[in-house]
Amino acid sequence: MVLNSIDFSVKPGEVSVLVGPSGAGKSTLLRCINGLERLDSGTVEIDGEVLEYKEKPLNHMREHVGMVFQQFNLFPHLTALENVTLAPQIVSGLDAKSARERGVSILERVGLGDKISSYPSALSGGQQQRVAIARALAMEPKLMLFDEPTSALDPELVGEVLQVMRQLADDGMTMVIVTHEMRFARQVADTVTLLADGGIAESGPPSEVLDNPQTERAQAFLRQISEH
């Protein structure tokens, strides 16, 4: 996917939702923010620091930017709690006891206090995604990135994940979310950015972008999704 002349920013505490047709470059833009995709030109700046692709500064930046994937990507050989405590221990150097306390409390926060010893294979998709969110939160990120977090879920499991994300938004977490959940975008987003053909078609508050789009590309996209 090729993105061109993108000018995109998120303020602290803001929830920014990226929408658009598949192939528009939403996920690519999201993955550029934490360096999973590299820019050919231009810069990414997080909390006043320009993103570098050298191993050390890249790892350091990623400690503070959480990412949640469409396919969860939980570590299958570790329990829910171990998934959550691994990075705080080996990356942040937290001792086992503190990591465990932090892990348990975060898993409780996402409603999985009774599943801490379960392996991912024993959890439903919705539960797995909530563990994945907890895993990212355990690093105490300044920014959370969500790459279509509910797209791989059965419809009846979408709600529990959105619920956790809504809670996070209410708690003031800075979030960038790629999603097809328009109702969620309308309720939670401060800004909705519509991408099309590798560029930004329109950006603004949800009421403007989703209800009263100005550009033709935005209108075409919204017509398409309202048809189903």
Partner 1 sequence: MEFIEAFIRSAPIFGQGLLITLALTGLTIVFSVILGLIVLGMKVSRFRPLNWLANTYLAIVRGMPLIALLFVIYFGIVSIIRVDAFTAATIGLSVHTSAYMAEIFRSGLSSVPKGQTEAARSLGMSRVQTLRKVVSPQALRVVVPALANQAILSLKDSSVAAFITVEELFLTAQRLSAASFQPLTFYTIVSIYYLAVVGIMTLVAQRVERYYGKRG
Query: Which stretches of the chain bind partner 1, using CB under 8 A?
Result: 34, 36, 55, 59-60, 62-63, 65-67, 69, 71, 73-77, 86-87, 90-92, 119-121, 132, 135-136, 139
Nearer to partner 1, 36 or 104 (CB): 36
Three-class SS state of 17: strand
In whole angstroms, how large is the CA radius of gyration of the chain? 18
CA-closest candidate to residue 65, choices 38, 82, 81, 45: 45
DSSP state of 37: S
CA-closest candidate to residue 163, choices 144, 193, 74, 171: 171
Nearer to partner 1, 110 or 196 (CB): 110
Nearer to partner 1, 85 or 179 (CB): 85
Integer Cα distance of 192 and 146 in angstroms: 14
Integer Cα distance of 26 and 35 in angstroms: 14
Integer Cα distance of 88 and 75 in angstroms: 15
Nearer to partner 1, 63 or 190 (CB): 63
Nearer to partner 1, 175 or 194 (CB): 175
Taking the complex as a whole, the smallest distance from the CB of residue 6 to partner 1 amounts, in Å, to 21
Taking the complex as a whole, the smallest distance from the CB of residue 80 to partner 1 amounts, in Å, to 12
Taking the complex as a whole, the smallest distance from the CB of residue 32 to partner 1 amounts, in Å, to 13
CB 176 within 8 A of CB 145: yes
Taking the complex as a whole, the smallest distance from the CB of residue 183 to partner 1 amounts, in Å, to 28
Taking the complex as a whole, the smallest distance from the CB of residue 44 to partner 1 amounts, in Å, to 14
